[in-house]
Homo-oligomer: A and B are copies of this chain.
Amino acid sequence: MSGSTDDIETLIDLMAKLPGLGPRSARRAVLHLIRKRSLLLSPLSDMMSRVAVSARECLNCGNIGTSDICDICESEKRATGELCVVEDVADLWAMERSGVFKGRYHVLGGTLSALDAVGPEELRIPRLLDRVVSEEITEVILALNATVDGQTTAHYIADQLQGRVKLTSLAQGVPIGGELDYLDDGTITAALRARKEL
């Protein structure tokens, strides 16, 4: 029906499954790829197959990288004692782009949700409580999204850690209902600088 043949059709269908691409934009992307075969299509295919083999979650913090322990957890330049808790790897990357936080991260992998039956065990919360003790953490920054589920999760974690470490949360700049990954770097910087104790 589309005038293209099987392999190309299959490629379009696969591309259309990417977030942010629909059937039409997938077709345009595939035509663009075919026109830029040596500059884009082949390098992209090679890099995808490398990443398919090498990508893994950091056993310590949940960040995605190419080794069992990610670069941030391994780096000796990162401040020990400060732990920034985020929902998702995309949020960690957004924090890193702002460049203002020098400690380490902990990626929960989602938020608590009664509706979806996501409890603390489904997230990386037990591991967080372990790390606070084993890494002698003095401050936990709860950088969760300003959504209902994000704030519920922040309160739950705060309850668990109350009195054991200094607890802070991102302050000004995070709009109600907003998500970290969509914020500009300046807003993230301002919010981190003005963090307030719970």
Contact = CB atoms under 8 A, between A and B. Distances in A.
Nearest to A34: B55
Given A48-B45, A65-B4, A29 B18 contact: yes
Given A42-B49, A44-B14, A2 B55 contact: no
Q: Is the interface of A mostly helix, strand, loop or mixed?
A: helix
Copies of this chain, whole number? 2
A19 B25 contact: yes
A96 B1 contact: yes
Contacts of A32: 18-19
Interface string A91-135: 011011101000001000000000000000000000000000000
A76 interface: no
A67 B8 CA distance: 12
A176 interface: no
Given A20-B29, A32-B18, A11 B48 contact: yes
B181 A28 contact: yes
B96 A8 contact: no
Contacts of A181: 24, 27-28
**Most chain-B Cβ atoms within 10 A of its Cβ — which of A44, A48, A70?**
A48
Given A18-B29, A27-B90, A34 B51 contact: yes
B17 A40 contact: yes
A185 to B, nearest CB: 10
A18 to B, nearest CB: 5
Contact of A67 (B5, B11, B31, B70): B5
Contact of A54 (B7, B21, B70): B7
